[in-house]
Structure 1
Amino acid sequence: MTPQLLQPNLVHHFYAGGARIAALRGLPPVERCPEEWVGATVARDGSSEVGLARTADGTLVRDLVQADPAAWVGGDSIGGDTGILLKLLDAGQRLPVHVHPDRDFAARHLDCPYGKTEAWLVLEATGDAAVYLGWSADVDPDELAERRDAQDSDWMLSRLNRIPVRPGDAFLVPAGTPHAIGEGVFVAEVQEPTDFSILLEWSITTSTRDESHLGLGFDQAMAAVSTAGLSGQALEQLVVHHDLDDRVATPVPLLPEAGDPYFRLHLLAPGPDDAPEVREGFAALVVLSGTGVLEGATGSVPVGGGQSLVVPSAFGPWRLVGDARVLVARPGEGWREALGQRIVG
């Protein structure tokens, strides 16, 4: 079994963007398709199909994993679960201030073992590009509810940590943390495999209030929203930087270590005599540039800039030969054990 090329999988959304994804994939721009879901086996919230990834021959990745979970993820899997979701996200406007629930909240209220802790790797940034991550000081829950109902964007943004960004910056966004991505920021996003978002600010999108609380009502949904301040050392631990143009002999871990239980994202960027090796296991790949060959226990696959692929566990340990630069997203170590009996059959 060898890695499989993926069809483009652009997803229409409630915010603008997507031109840089289309350019990377060699496609004409499509209005309001600011995300590509790479190797996704989970669909958009409220949909049974939107977001699901397909291989080049049109087969759903979810169906491949369901049919042979041992070969694809090295063990049991319920519903084609791979433990991870990789996205490309190109913000053509500032995203709304929003929050994702954690695993405990999702298990209690959404019948799902996963929350939505996520991380961003900045690939490109134009203009006065920035992200917003966590409150800079504690906020009063009652005032937050009032400002949310009034759609007071200025109030919310003024109380969030605004962080200017450059390519190579990476941010861990723990579930429960209010956040937004600014206009002009192009990221690779790795996350738990769900589509759960609580919008504190829907007025700058095509969404509505009734579509902003996961069907729970805000009285219940706001229990998932942290009102504690995030600053100083706590904020610093959520941010790292790497030079994405460096050529190195080994896979480069790109995210803060605190994200390791949830997901991992590495850059393969070998020099002329290098062939960085990746451990066996499911992976979703985006080839940023160049050409190369993936060599594994069961064969080899040529790759080139703009392509995306999924790698089955049965490919064994594998390495990249050539001058390609490849992002490799994998689930956290022991992801089944971390979720316990909720997902293990």
Structure 2
Amino acid sequence: MTRKKVLVTGGAGFIGGNFVQYMVDKYPQYDIYNLDLLTYAGDLTKHRDIETKENYHFVKADIADHEAIIPLFEKEKFDFVVHFAAESHVDRSITDPGVFVRTNVLGTQVLLDAAKQVGITKFVHVSTDEVYGELDFDPTTFFTEETPLQPNSPYSASKASSDLLVRAYHETYGLPINITRCSNNYGPYHFPEKLIPLTISRVLNDQKVPVYGDGKNIRDWLHVIDHCAAIDLVLHEGVNGEVYNVGGHNERTNLEVVKTIISILGKSEDLIEFVKDRLGHDKRYAIDPTKLEQLGWKPTYTFETGIAQTIEWYLDNKEWWEQIISGEYQNYFEKQYSM
């Protein structure tokens, strides 16, 4: 039987990295290709335990580089593409929107061209609930797959643009696709600039934890392993052309998240420091995942169990996030893969 080839873009990032490990372990009969440019958030040290496995392969490349991507697809003839690779930090998109347009929009278009050219079986585009804009604080309102796209940051606008490109390639060229839109992820290997790992690392070091505005902005938190399972299901069972929302049913204000972490670590709330609010800061995100649940998925983590496990992971893996903070992780590729 011919082995299936799965290309995972952005597999050195947080969600993509967890998905690569999930797939390498679950599907030894698949060859998993991790394609990543290794920009500031790309970290290969997380894959030390799988990099010697026969079904794991790493490719360093830029998804927006047509001259690199097309020959790669022609050579490997991938069966599946799961597309995570993206610039994803909202604050950075406010400072430099152009980088987000290049990677998230042009990069997606290059991948779609390559996928169309070789005739892949399925292209799964991993997007975000931020493309829907924001909700008010009414707890009975949720994003559904029919919610209009109304992005409010350069990051979410670039993701919405890439979503529409993926849809267009399905409608115009018949490319088999699915789009998933997830709520905020957390869990192992989360890059330390994001809220939960930033809070954990700073609290452990007795440093002030910055909280935007009044801290009342609400996010729906999804454990990254639940997200991986959802994408796995969509990859294999998703109805061609459909969008699936992936949410954790775990809404918390940013301030509640920070206070929970401080409490679990036995520190003082005096570490909280309110700072000037972010430009265009969406009030609330919340997802209705009914469509995906009807396909057969349900989250296994509550926020209480997930955040406790995540904090424990960061306590047990200080070496990983300390090297990220120091920048030492960026030397790993050259040490490990130098010819």
TM range (shorter): under 0.3
TM-score normalised by the chain length of structure 2? 0.26
TM-score normalised by the chain length of structure 1? 0.26
Higher relative CO (Cα under 8 Å, sequence separation at least 6) belongs to: 1
